Amino acid sequence: MRRWNPSIETADHEPGEGSGLGEAGSAALEFIVVGLLLLVPVVYLIVSLGLIQGQSLGVEAGARHIARSVSSAPDASTADARARQVLAAVVDEYGLDPDSLKIEVSCRPAGATCPEAGATLVVTLSARVALPLVPPILGLDRLALVPIEASAVQKVSRFWGVP
């Protein structure tokens, strides 16, 4: 009777073949390359979303504070001065681009002069956020703008225009 000897019957390959000696050290290189390929886009996404979030908080705060300051002002000239001061403070605080800001002020009910005692004031503030590291080649910087917008509603004081 013959006994099975694995060293004799499985010797179909050359010594050192399949033992992994040809791939020594490549796991660290693969980890670095794959890690960088995955890490760079994730870091860019986090930075971009943080920038957009910060700017959107600034736009929202600007719309809310402008609506409050205009609705509580005693007259149009004071309302305009307050709105300019609030906008300048928000632009400075949140680092907004003043060239990209657009302000719309309207009153409800439709047809009411804006602002008017007892009317509802709607302030809409919009801006564009430029994504980081986008070069101005072929107009890519104009395409990589994220629009953000915020609206605030405030009831105008009944004492508007009363001396």
Residue 72 domain boundaries: 28-155
Compute CA 119 distance to the chain's CA centroid, rounded to the nearest angstrom.
33
More confident residue, 101 or 161: 101
Any domain includes 128 = yes
Query: In angstroms, rounded to a whole number, what is the distance separating the alpha carbons of residues 28 and 66?
Result: 56
Mean of the per-residue pLDDT values for the chain?
84
The b-or-e profile of 53-91 (16+ CB within 10 A means b, else e) is eebbebbbbbbbbbbbbbbbbeeeeebeebbeebbeebb
Any domain includes 3 = no
More confident residue, 135 or 44: 44
Any domain includes 133 = yes
74-89 residue pLDDT tens: 888 888 999 999 999 9
| Counted domains in the chain | 1
83-123 residue pLDDT tens: 999 999 999 999 998 998 999 998 887 776 778 888 899 99
pTM: 0.73
Query: In angstroms, rounded to a whole number, what is the distance separating the alpha carbons of residues 94 and 88?
Result: 10
Any domain includes 47 = yes
Any domain includes 147 = yes
Any domain includes 161 = no
Any domain includes 16 = no
